[in-house]
């Protein structure tokens, strides 16, 4: 039996009209909130660069205090005034809106004038509110889960320029910061003499107020840096892009050092800045840390027993290591002797190369290792190509060198 669909007069026209109305409703204008926020952040960035407090406050919500935030936005703007900037911009990476409130993830990119060849990127989480007039403003600007605190969140920055350095400090006098600048200014030519001129030949030194604030800048527990006087962190781009390195001081540990120790530390960390473009996953820590120590002590007249007391005790007890230290031996732990012995072993390995094959070959060896994309075969190939030896032969030479220097 055939069935026919019955059509009632006028119903088809009503349905068509409803469909058209529904269609019109679905074509509502797109939400412009994200674009509005991006334009507001552009104005905020321009205000930072132009030191325009009025324009900056216009991007701030009337109340910006949020539990756990390090400082209010207006206070942070004041803290930034001494930071010499050549660029400052925000790039939204995520945006979530709920009515008159929104949360945005943003990449804050900035460069310090005269020092950063590439922008430093800081991951930020922005809490946003919309006013009655429809304008979006910033209620909170904090480090994201993937980000770290920035120096201006810890207090007002004081900047001191050296001949080859820029020192940025919080809670420090200009006189104290000038001492760091003097050490850094001496470190730069010392590193250039050893490594060569293929690096920026200037450094940025960051001096927070305490160990805890140092750890906040590095995004790690303070316990991991207790007793470590300074670290160097590459903050922008890959190794081949000449990253913007910062030497971050642990003021608690640094204060315990004598004049020579402070100079060695700054020279060591400056070496990391210079060698960064040739340091990657292929470079073992015994080489990168050993080379930095070799440059740090180069020309100081310090003997092996003075520099390597922990390894000296191992030699006296007939416990000469059977192999060069692994990366894990450089981990921060309660076993300070193990860490000290790892650094001393790397230093003597680089000193052996400089003494036996020459300083030029040591530099060539470092670069050859870093020319590899990965760890596998990097040291083996560089030993063969640059020094004409093998891992087994080099390890044996190094163990005999350790005994001769420390026995």
104 forms beta bridges with 95, 126
> Which pLDDT value is given to residue 6?
40
Domains of the chain, start order: 33-149 (3.10.450.50), 154-274 (3.30.2010.30), 279-407 (no CATH)
Residue 334 pLDDT grade (very low, low, confident, very high; cuts 50, 70, 90): low
pLDDT tens for 73-82 read: 888 999 999 9
Residue 348 pLDDT grade (very low, low, confident, very high; cuts 50, 70, 90): very high
Residue 345 predicted with pLDDT over 80: yes
> Which pLDDT value is given to residue 67?
53
Residue 277 predicted with pLDDT over 50: yes
First to last CA, the chain: 109
pLDDT tens for 220-265 read: 899 888 889 999 987 533 333 444 689 999 999 999 999 999 999 9
| DSSP reduced 3-state for 165 | strand
pLDDT tens for 64-111 read: 455 555 447 888 999 999 999 999 999 999 999 999 999 999 999 999
| DSSP reduced 3-state for 179 | helix
- The span from the CA of 71 to the CA of 207, in Å, is 18
Looking at every residue in the chain, the average pLDDT score rounds to: 89
223 CB neighbour count, 10 Å cutoff: 12
Residue with tokens 């058209």: 20
> Which pLDDT value is given to residue 338?
87
- Over pLDDT 70: what percentage of the chain? 86
Give, as one character, the DSSP assignment of residue 391: H
> Which pLDDT value is given to residue 146?
87
Average pLDDT (363-368) is 98
Measured in degrees and rounded to the nearest 5, phi and psi for residue 212 equal -60, -40
> Which pLDDT value is given to residue 129?
95
Cβ(382)–Cβ(294) under 8 Å?
no
Tell me whether residue 253 is exposed, middle or buried, using C-beta atoms within 10 angstroms of its C-beta: 0 to 12, 13 to 18, 19 or more.
middle
The β-bridge relationship of strands 85-98 and 203-207 is unpaired
> Which pLDDT value is given to residue 63?
67
pLDDT tens for 131-150 read: 999 999 999 999 999 899 99
Residue of 86, 64, 91 whose CA lies nearest to 75 = 64
Residue 20 predicted with pLDDT over 60: no
> Which pLDDT value is given to residue 322?
96
Which residue blocks in 111-166 are alpha helix, DSSP H?
Answer: none
Q: Which of 117-126, 210-219, 227-236, 276-285 has the lowest mean pLDDT?
A: 227-236
- The span from the CA of 48 to the CA of 79, in Å, is 11
Residue with tokens 């030699």: 315
| DSSP reduced 3-state for 143 | strand
Check residues 10 and 308 and name the one with the higher pLDDT: 308
Angle at 168 between CA 164 and CA 172, to 5 degrees: 120
Query: Residues near 262 by Cβ (< 8 Å), separated by ≥ 6?
Result: 183, 229, 254
Residue 126 predicted with pLDDT over 90: yes
Check residues 32 and 332 and name the one with the higher pLDDT: 32
> Which pLDDT value is given to residue 331?
82
> Which pLDDT value is given to residue 273?
95
> Which pLDDT value is given to residue 27?
54
Cβ(87)–Cβ(112) under 8 Å?
no
Cβ(246)–Cβ(232) under 8 Å?
yes
Give, as one character, the DSSP assignment of residue 383: I
Q: Annotate 189-225 with DSSP letters as a single string.
A: HHHHHHH-S-S---EEEEE-SSHHHHHHHHTS-GGGG
Residue 153 predicted with pLDDT over 50: yes
> Which pLDDT value is given to residue 74?
84
248 forms beta bridges with 206, 231
| DSSP reduced 3-state for 10 | coil
For residues 117-136, b (16+ Cβ closer than 10 Å) or e, as one string? eebbbbebbbbbbbeeeeeb
Q: Which of 53-67, 291-305, 335-349, 361-375 has the lowest mean pLDDT?
A: 53-67
> Which pLDDT value is given to residue 29?
59
């Amino acid at each position: 039996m055939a069935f026919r669909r019955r059509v009632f007069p006028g119903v088809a026209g009503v349905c068509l009209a409803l469909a058209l109305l529904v269609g019109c409703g679905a074509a509502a204008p797109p939400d412009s909130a994200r674009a509005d926020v991006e334009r507001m952040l552009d104005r905020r960035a321009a205000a930072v660069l132009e030191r325009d407090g009025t324009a900056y406050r216009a991007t701030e919500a009337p109340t910006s205090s949020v539990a756990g935030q390090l400082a209010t936005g207006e206070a942070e703007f004041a803290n930034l005034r001494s930071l010499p900037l050549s660029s400052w911009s925000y790039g939204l990476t995520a945006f979530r809106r709920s009515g008159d409130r929104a949360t945005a993830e943003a990449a804050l990119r900035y460069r310090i004038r005269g020092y950063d060849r590439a922008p430093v990127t800081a991951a930020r989480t922005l809490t946003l509110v919309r006013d009655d007039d429809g304008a979006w403003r910033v209620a909170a600007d904090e480090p994201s889960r993937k980000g770290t605190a920035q120096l201006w969140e810890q207090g007002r920055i004081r900047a001191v320029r050296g001949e080859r350095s820029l020192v940025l400090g919080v809670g420090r006098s200009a006189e104290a910061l000038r001492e760091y600048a003097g050490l850094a200014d001496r470190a730069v030519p010392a590193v250039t003499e050893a490594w060569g001129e293929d690096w920026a030949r200037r450094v940025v030194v960051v001096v927070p107020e305490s160990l805890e604030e140092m750890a906040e800048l590095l995004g790690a527990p303070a316990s991991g840096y207790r007793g470590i006087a300074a670290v160097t962190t590459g903050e922008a781009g890959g190794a081949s892009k000449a990253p913007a390195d910062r030497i971050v001081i642990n003021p608690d540990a640094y204060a315990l050092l004598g004049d020579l120790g402070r100079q060695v530390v700054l020279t060591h960390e400056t070496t990391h800045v210079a060698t960064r473009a040739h340091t990657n996953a292929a470079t073992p820590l015994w080489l990168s840390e050993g080379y930095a120590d070799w440059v740090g002590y180069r020309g100081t007249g310090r003997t092996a027993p003075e520099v390597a007391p922990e390894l000296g005790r191992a030699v006296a007890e007939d416990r000469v290591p059977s192999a060069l230290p692994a990366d894990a031996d450089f981990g921060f732990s309660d076993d300070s002797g193990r860490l000290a012995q790892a650094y001393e072993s790397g230093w003597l390995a680089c000193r052996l190369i400089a003494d036996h094959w020459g300083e030029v070959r040591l530099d060539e060896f470092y670069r050859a290792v870093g020319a590899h994309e990965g760890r596998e075969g990097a040291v083996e190939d560089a030993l063969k190509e640059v020094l004409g030896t093998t891992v087994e032969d080099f390890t044996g030479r190094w163990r005999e060198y350790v005994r001769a220097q420390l026995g």
